[in-house]
Each structure stands twice: as C-alpha cells, then as structure tokens.
Structure 1
Amino acid sequence: MTSRFTNWRKSRYSEPNGTCVEVAPSSIGTVGIRDSKAHSAGPILELTRHEWTNLLQTIRSVQAR
C-alpha cells in the first residue's frame, strides 16, 4: 500500500521532539496520513481529496474557536 504514496512531508505544526504526522499524495489521487514515529512501518490512513479537505476545514474551525 505505501508504495503508491510519494513525497511524504511532515506537518508544519510538528513538535520538535519528532511527534508529528506526515502526509503524502498517492498516484490515484488520494492522500495518505501516517505517524512519523512508526518509521514507515505503521498504518496509513487513506482519504479521498474531498475527505482530506473536510478534515482540514474541521481542524481549522476547531482551532479558530
């Protein structure tokens, strides 16, 4: 599953101690999310572009409160 995800990048809100999530696009247009502490061996949450957009909007609306 992970082979189709490329260009993993850490969240800009990552903690200095390495506690963070990484995201990457896939070759089929989905977005993968993983825990960077798992060193590529952990599970990947795969979202459609629509789901990814909704997740970001929800996070931003909660942060704005």
Structure 2
Amino acid sequence: MSEQQVRLFILFKYMWLKGKFEEAGSHKYQKPREYVSGEAHYFKWQLYRLRNSRSRCGFMWCR
C-alpha cells in the first residue's frame, strides 16, 4: 500500500468512528431519575430508605 492509500484508509475510519460516537451520544437510554421519599435502595448488601428533604438550594447536601 502506498502512503496515500494508508492516509485515505485512516481518514475513512476516523470519519466512520466519529459518526458512530455522535450516533451513540444522541441516544437517550434512561429517563431523568425521580427520587421519591421512602424508596428503598441496596448499597453494599444493606437496605437504605431514601429521605428526600429540600433546603434553600433545593437539595439536602447544599448548605
């Protein structure tokens, strides 16, 4: 293969890969999460209940 053929091959693959990344980025796989007070979630095999409290900024960890 000549150097020109190698450059064209790399350019073609780059454009193909760039298109695939843009295509994958445009998909929405999950809905935005809603956190409901009282929900139960497991973390490291322990059950935790969610307490959803809001402060001035809207979130409990914001002080």
Structure with the higher fraction of residues in helix conformation: 2
Q: TM-score, normalised by structure 2?
A: 0.29
Higher relative contact order (CA 8 A, sep 6+): 1
Which protein has the bigger strand share?
A: 1
Q: Which has the larger radius of gyration?
A: 2
